[in-house]
Structure 1
Amino acid sequence: MSSTHDVELVLDFLNTLDVEENADLLDDDLRWHAWLAARGLTAGDPTHVRAVRDGLRGLIGGAPASPPPDADVRVSVVAGVPKVSAPDVAGAVLAAASRLAVLGEWERVKICPADECQWAFFDRSRNRSRTWCSMQVCGNREKARAWRERSKSG
């Protein structure tokens, strides 16, 4: 499993909550199970899965939430190589997040600060300073809003 796979899994999981569309994939059993099947994962307890997602989003800058609860993660040695696995999506995502943390890449997982967006993204900038999920959309919108506010008061 590569760090690219871990990044994709973590972002896909965090973005099962779509603030802009006011949609939560966890509330749609059919789409949620299709999401899991596409990634070869099992569901686990829905309340626990939601708590893990919301806790991780809170950790990286989303709406304040309780820290994510623990999940079952197993470490084994397969063909002489340590392998981390989990029985369900919550454990798989936390295992992926922990691998990113070990690689020093967890800080690159961010939440767009735009209230109407809050999309999770991975900051690939050299100095880790990217703020917006998309400068063309959210960043530009926020800069225009700030300019209008400054123009009103000036």
Structure 2
Amino acid sequence: MTEDVTLVLDFLNTVDVEAGTDVIEDPVRWAGWLAERDLAPGEVEPAAVRATLRAAAGDPTAAAAPVTAPVLVTVTEGTPKVEARDVVGAVLAAASRLAVLGSWDRVKICPADDCRWAFYDRSRNHSRTWCSMQVCGNREKARAWRERTRER
């Protein structure tokens, strides 16, 4: 499951709102990203898949659209295995495994407008809100405190 979480988060975080960068839109960086993970580009537009998965994880700024990708299910030595031919198939297969295991709801998007980083909520009761309490959570709590004290 850890590999699935890592792949999904890495894919969702190919867009960095704070830095204003998008790995998928940069052909050199995208090719490097694929090579690092030993994945092939495919026919399906990865940015559309990323937007759909980000929307599914709670990003209010992402537009969801129906997406599909071919995968192959094999049974080798008595064990079923989902194999993907390209990056979109691999990411969707990983996300599907998380959903089947009941862990998809732990994939979340930081609500900070200047962050929107995808993270995996490892808290016991699934209540984590911020990607980092030290950065985004602290910033938001300080902002809320300033607003409350200004009102007094």
Give the TM interval when normalised to the shorter protein: over 0.9
Distance (whole Å) between structure 2 residues aligned to residue 103 and residue 25 of structure 1: 29
| 1:44 equivalent in structure 2 | 42
Report runs of 4+ in structure 1 exceeding 3 Å deviation: none
Q: 1:12 offset after TM fit, Å?
A: 0.2
Preserved CA contact (<8 Å) 1:58 1:66: yes
1:4 aligns with 2:8: no
| 1:149 equivalent in structure 2 | 147
1:117-153 deviations in Å (ceiling 9; x for gaps): 0000000000000000000000000000011111111
| 1:61 equivalent in structure 2 | 58
Paired residues, what number? 151
Q: 1:67 offset after TM fit, Å?
A: 3.4
In structure 1, the gaps of 5 or more residues are: none
Residue correspondence of structure 1 range 36-115 to structure 2 within 5 A: 36-45=34-43, 48-62=45-59, 63-115=61-113
| 2:21 equivalent in structure 1 | 23
Seq. identity, %: 64
Structure 1 residues 151 and 116, CA, compared in 2 at 3 Å: closer, same or farther?
same
Give the AA of the match of 1:83. Answer: K
Preserved CA contact (<8 Å) 1:51 1:68: no
Secondary structure at the aligned position of 1:148 is classed as helix
Give the AA of the match of 1:25. Answer: V
Distance (whole Å) between structure 1 residues aligned to residue 111 and residue 81 of structure 2: 35
Distance (whole Å) between structure 1 residues aligned to residue 113 and residue 90 of structure 2: 28
* Larger helix percent: 1
Preserved CA contact (<8 Å) 1:58 1:67: no
TM-score (norm 2): 0.96
